[in-house]
Each structure stands twice: as structure tokens, then as C-alpha cells.
Amino acid sequence: MNTAAVSFEYKGIAEGKYTEGIIEALDKDEASFKLREKKVIITSINIVKGQKVKKKKEAKGGGLFGNLFLGKVKTKDLTLFAKKISTMVRAGLPILDSIKMVEEQTDSKRLKLIINQIAKDLEAGTALSKCFARNPDVFDKIFVNMIKAGEASGKLDIFLVKLTEILERREDIRRKIKSASFYPKILFFVAGGITVFMLIKVVPIFEEMYGGMGVPLPGLTKLIISASNFVQSMAGLITFIMLGAFYYLFKVLNNKIPDFKRRVDKLSFKLPIFGNLIAQSIYARVALVMANLVAAGVSVIETLEIVKETNNNLVVRDAIENVKRGVFSGMDLSKLFLKESVFPSQFGQLIAVGEKTGNLEEMFTSIANYYQEEFDSAVKTLSTAIEPLMIVIIGALIGFLLLAMYMPIFNAGSVVGG
């Protein structure tokens, strides 16, 4: 027995039956990998109480401080890596030569180190899927299973193309959501900046002028002057600090407390405009991953487990877990999706068509394409509408503040004119 190994207790499904036991490994990732090699679909895995896992060191420059300087592997870098490997393998280059060539072309320092280690492991005779599985924080289960399917079928080039498609769509969705949310963020900061600037710099000038003139002030003007005084006071400073603290607390709770994150994830579907974008992007990704994993020969139960683990939305994860348990009990996949309110009824109805025709892979691909098109259309519409909307909102804000401050002059003019 390896003295560095520790024991993990697990529960899972093997050959259609529930199973549980203890397995020894260096860490949780290795334990999970060993179980998957034994065709065990893991439902839970935890270290046996009273033991400590020695943290895994990464190749050359890894570890805590190394990773701080090397940073994360960006999605676009990972997508480009897969695309280059796919192109080279399809051109007839051996996989080892392809990986070495991509290593030389990679800009990401951390990814470069990982690719270097993968090349060394391959030269030592390690299976390609195992090489990728050793870095689960970079290569998720979708990535590893697609590679494994390519190895098993002898069609690595085809599955690399499918993997590249998944990664490209994921990156495209991420980029479009980021782009769509960019203008509202700019609008918020510009509007906030203009408001604060006018309250601190412009309003005090009017306040001093009206104080010297002794003219009566309308209620709206008094309100703006009061807001100006508040922003410049200690109470205003404390309020801004508290708002920052609340935002920080929100981020911490969202990252650390699952129940809190679950509520936030549920509310995200109800956001005006963006809720629809988030939902459509999730439906497209779930369907695309299921289509490719089913095509790769991965069982439906294991496919659902992988889809669940690679989804960050806890509401969706819960729904997928319910579907997975139902499939294990022998229920139809389509009926299970229809039961989950987070998925639209159309999602389940289309799966039912795939079940009837016996072509589930093709139907999942159609579902993915449908929601991808809906998502793209919504993003395009939003991008077109939001620019003129920004101009109108900022113009209205400035106009409102100026009107409020000039109202005493207008009133005085009407009195003189009368």
C-alpha cells in the first residue's frame, strides 16, 4: 500500500445496481478516476473521517504560489488548444507530435506547463484520456469523456471535432452574454458617475446662488439639494462604504453558501431580458453536451451526471439530479424533463420525439441548435436596442437634474412676467 494514499468512501451505480465501498487514492480526483475506470457512476465520494489529503502539486511551477502567478487557463485558450489538436490530428499527424507542436504555439504559461506534462505522460505510455484527467480543474469531464470515446472507437479525430464544437459554443455563449451585459454596466456606471458629479460639483453652485438671492425653492429643487448635501456628508460616505460591504458579502455568500446561491440562481431566470438569455444558453449547452456524450457511447445516467457536474447553476443541477434518479428507476427521459419546471415543456416534448424515433442524439442536436438560434437572436435584438436606450436614459437623467435646479429661475421669471 502506498503510504501517501488515503481512503475514500463512495456510493454509486455499477452495472445498473447501487454500490458502495472504500477506495484508496492520493486524492479525490484520482479516486474518482479509478472508479470511472471500473465503470462506476459516482453519486457521492468523501474522504474517510480522520484522514488528510496531501495537496497535489502541479508540474513545474505549480503549487499555490506558482498558480497565483500563472493564473487560470482561459476558456478561449482551452478552445484554441482543442481546435489546433483537432486540425493536426485530422491532417494525419500523430497525437504526440500534435501536442508538442501546440505546446510551442501556446501563450498561456499554465496551459503550456500542463501540455508539456501531458506530452511526457504520453511518451511514458499513459492513455491520452488519463493524461487530461490528471488536470480536472482545466479539463472537465466532458473533455475527458470525449477523448476517451475517441480512443475507444479509434475515431479520435471525429471526437476532437465534436469536442471543439462544444468548447466553441460554450465560449461563444460566454462572450455574447458578456457583450450583452457590457452596455447595461456602462450605463449604470456612466449614469451613476454623472449623478454624483452633478450632486457634488454643480448643485452646490446653484444652492449658493439661490441662498444669496433669497428666492423660494420648489420641492423638487429642495430634494436635489438635500441629496447633494447627503452625498458630501459623512453619512453619505458611510452609506457608500456599506453598499460596497453588502456587495462583498453578497459575493461571499453566493460562493460559500449553497442555499443562498440556489436562491440567486433561481432569481436569475426571472431577470428582465437577461433571465431569458441565461435560460436559453443553459438549454442549448445541456442539449449539445448530451447529444455528443450519447453519441460517444456514454450511458444516459453517466451523461446526466457529467452534465450536472459541469453546470454552475444549482437549480439546473438539482433538476438534472432528479432526472438522473428517475432514469435509474426506469422512467422515460422525456417525462422526467417535463416534470422539471426549470426546463420548458418544449424541451421534454422534443426529447419524446427522439425517444419514439430511436434517434436521441439527433434530437438533442436539434434542441441545441434551436435554443442556440433563439439565444443569438435575443442577443442581437438586445444589442441593437440598448445603444439608443442608453442615450435616452442618460439624456433624461441630465435633463431632470438641470430642470430641477433651474426651476426657481423659471418660477421667478413667470412671476415677473405676470
Euclidean distance between CA atoms 71 and 392, whole angstroms: 40
Three-class SS of residue 55? coil
| CA–CA dist 346, 45 (Å, integer) | 35
Identity of the residue numbered 10: Y
Helix, strand, coil % (nearest 5) of the chain?
A: 75, 5, 20
Query: Across residues 46-63, what is the average pLDDT?
Result: 57
The answer on pLDDT for 283 being more than 90 is yes
CB 120 within 8 A of CB 100: no
The owner of cell 504520453 is: 122
Confidence grade of residue 68 (pLDDT, cut at 50, 70, 90): very low
Using H for helix, E for strand and C for coil, what is the string for 125-151?
CCCHHHHHHCCCCCCCHHHHHHHHHHH
Confidence of residue 393 (pLDDT cuts 50, 70, 90): confident
pLDDT at 57: 46
Q: Given the C-alpha cell 487530461, which residue does it identify?
A: 132
Whether 333 contacts 185, CB under 8 Å: no
The DSSP string of 361-395 is HHHHHHHHHHHHHHHHHHHHHHHHHHHHHHHHHHH
Q: What is the tens place of the pLDDT at every residue in 213-272?
A: 777 788 888 899 999 999 898 988 898 899 999 999 999 999 889 899 999 999 999 988
Instruction: Give the strand pairing for 6-14 and 17-25.
Output: antiparallel
DSSP symbol at 330: T
Fold exhibited by the domain 154-407: Receptor-associated Protein (1.20.81)
**pLDDT 10s digits, 285-334:** 999 888 888 888 888 888 898 888 888 899 999 999 999 999 888 899 99
From CA 277, how far away is CA 407, in angstroms rounded? Answer: 43
d(CA 331, CA 337): 11
